[in-house]
Amino acid sequence: MATILVVDDEPRITQLARDYLVHAGFAVDTAPDGPAALAAFRAGPPDLVVLDLGLPKLDGLDVARRLRQDSNVPIIMLTARGEESDKLVGLALGADDYMVKPFSPKELVARVRAVLRRADHAAPAAPNAVIRAADLTLDPTRLSVKRGDDRLDLTATEFALLATLAREPGRVFSRAQLLDAVRGVAVESYERAIDTHIKNLRRKLEPDPREPRYLLTVYGLGYKFADD
């Protein structure tokens, strides 16, 4: 049974999320603020964190930064802020998904399932097949990536995105196709999220992110992994 940590300072929201997640078969821990969230995480790391941005004592973005220092645990940002800049900041910190309040608790459950499925099966077409492209080696069974002898530390979403592109070097994927490849369920699209994940990937993957060798932009169309 997967454990979900719900971090929100509104008791009504916390209870609603807990009720639906428990009904869906998850174990649920809760925290009302940033320090409590970090303490709960240290006490027993969950399988996924639902994290509100507008937390007291320690902002949700700061919590995400600290979690990402030591862990690639999947994170779904939950917030009342709807501005695009807030979404991009959250995604840039390594969040896997983003929901804006008020939200549908059924959609929250669907997104939790999708992100967990993505983390467990980042390569659904051939889960045991090692992917080799250029000097990269991707092992979907371990969610591990090596560039030569150097191991790269990617989130599950970043791994799924890289694996999708690396399986077919030279093929151009639109942002919508990449969203379909990494989401796993039909939810509201947010194609700019792909741009942010690509930026994060380039920062970890490329020797010079400003002159990418692996993940190339095809202007007006999308992205591709460089041809051999």
Same domain, yes or no: 10 and 107: yes
Domain final position from 92, 120, 148: 120
Count how many Cα atoms sit within 13 Å of the Cα of residue 169 in the half-sphere of its side chain: 11
Choice among 3-7, 74-78, 85-89 with the minimum mean pLDDT: 85-89
Choice among 8-12, 28-32, 138-142, 214-218 with the minimum mean pLDDT: 138-142
8 Å CB contact between 178 and 198: no
Same domain, yes or no: 14 and 107: yes
50-66: pLDDT as tens digits: 999 889 899 888 999 89
Domain final position from 70, 96, 120: 120
102-123: pLDDT as tens digits: 889 999 999 898 888 777 654 4
187-217: pLDDT as tens digits: 344 667 788 889 999 999 999 999 999 999 9
Q: What is the pLDDT of residue 125?
A: 47
Give the total number of structural domains in the chain.
Answer: 2
Measured between alpha carbons, how far is residue 195 from residues 88, 136, 217, 220 in Å?
A: 9, 21, 10, 13
Q: What is the pLDDT of residue 23?
A: 94
Same domain, yes or no: 103 and 10: yes
Find the domain containing 17 and state its range.
3-120
What CATH number is given to the structural domain containing 105? 3.40.50.2300
Q: What is the mean pLDDT of the chain?
A: 85
